[in-house]
Structure 1
């Protein structure tokens, strides 16, 4: 029985893109949705979410790992490395060594550890360029999961996540549909009965080339350029953000439905 769930990571686990003014940090996300489903089975469940948007793997492991261990979870999720893969240069093998050590530390406590592969960005003209390094990262994650007996949620294999309608306007973060789909996948991987179901969006519309170009230009102007400028200034979207649930607490708090 799961009674203490702690989530570690970056914007993906914080829930960015799944806007909810009633939730801490005004975002909900797959981890909150997963915790809600778990609490319906176990009302005494306590849940903490230490994830902070924009953080690199070393920042996540350096600031969240010990805090998570101190909370003695019996279920812990961790996703780290996504922001590293978006940097111009990244040593994926070195990241994997650090990740392996951290996952081994968590698994040694006896907790169930949940890991994630990265999403296949083949349908996006920008993120398609990251496909090779994401695939290498994913192979490391699969090996780490197997080595430590972790539960793996293979987002690379989730073809529905290639649909842009699962993503927010910035094309970097999942929206409510995407986060719901991931929550259902996590619960399935844990063999938990649940009623979390992603919306059936139907067939995607095929955009005319001119419309597609216009949308791409708008994305560059409104999202890609500001992101690049922050990177050039050495700023992160998480610099002024704190973990939204730093301590274990009941899930049935305002904003956690």
Structure 2
């Protein structure tokens, strides 16, 4: 019996040939910065490896380059400003060639979030991150999570996702778009905290980012059966 039968049968998780997709991946220094999304914060899911998406991606990249260096500076609750002020310095010193950024969601947890300021801060963050020379990656936020007491929550998330898409396009970042992914409709997607994606959701996010990286790098075209594991993620 396989150790994670639910994961292996999940159509949106990585198929067996996924390692082949990244067989020629050049990245040897992977970093992730931002909030709990960048950290891979999650709860367990029966039948799925108890891992966040960044550790999953690092593990897959290590199958290509066993000496991969990996740094995750993400902090639960970090805002865009705190990511810029408290994490970017460590990232620059690390010198990644593949860098993930996810932040901005915690800035929405206010009675009246200042979307203009959020956008300016994230623009500065993405600009300075791109200056490292690393290939940037990011996610849009999914629609599954809704904050009680904020009837306009989805409008806030759509606005933030718009900023993320714009910055991804501007800086050539690889974007895995999770806003309307079918996984959002799963009743057990969220962890017990009602906020973060469960291990099952983390597995899907990792799969979407791997497919997006493979498509961007034109590696997936050389992999037989590359269409498995769900529709390829859109790239920014």
Scaled by the length of structure 1, the TM-score of the pair is 0.68
Look up the match of 1:70.
Answer: 93
Write the deviation string for residues 15-41 of structure 1: whole angstroms up to 9, x where unpaired. 222459xxxxxx731101111111111
Structure exhibiting the larger radius of gyration computed from Cα positions: 1
2:75 equivalent to 1:52: yes
Change (3 A) 1:164 1:84: farther
List alignment gaps of at least 5 residues for structure 1. 21-26, 199-257
**TM-superposed deviation, 1:162:** 3.3
Answer yes or no: is the 8 Å Cα contact 1:164–1:171 preserved in 2: no
Answer yes or no: is the 8 Å Cα contact 2:98–2:135 preserved in 1: yes
Instruction: Select the residue among 35, 46, 55 that pairs with 1:10.
Output: 35
2:159 equivalent to 1:136: yes
Answer yes or no: is the 8 Å Cα contact 2:147–2:153 preserved in 1: no
Partner of 1:157, secondary structure, is: coil
**TM-superposed deviation, 1:128:** 6.5
CA RMSD of aligned residues (A): 2.4
Which stretches of structure 1, 4 residues or longer, exceed 3 Å deviation after superposition? Answer: 124-129, 192-195
What pairs with 1:10-49 in structure 2 (closer than 5 Å)? 10-19=35-44, 28-49=51-72
Look up the match of 2:178.
Answer: 155
Partner of 1:105, secondary structure, is: helix
Q: Aligned pairs, how many? A: 190
Q: Distance in 1 between matches of 2:117 and 2:128?
A: 17
Q: Distance in 1 between matches of 2:139 and 2:108?
A: 14
Look up the match of 2:21.
Answer: none
Change (3 A) 1:103 1:169: same
Q: Distance in 2 between matches of 1:170 and 1:18?
A: 8
**TM-superposed deviation, 1:119:** 1.0
Structure richer in helix, relative to its length: 1
Look up the match of 1:251.
Answer: none
Look up the match of 2:144.
Answer: 121
List alignment gaps of at least 5 residues for structure 2. 1-25, 230-236
**TM-superposed deviation, 1:108:** 2.1
Look up the match of 1:203.
Answer: none
Instruction: Select the residue among 180, 201, 204 that pairs with 1:181.
Output: 204
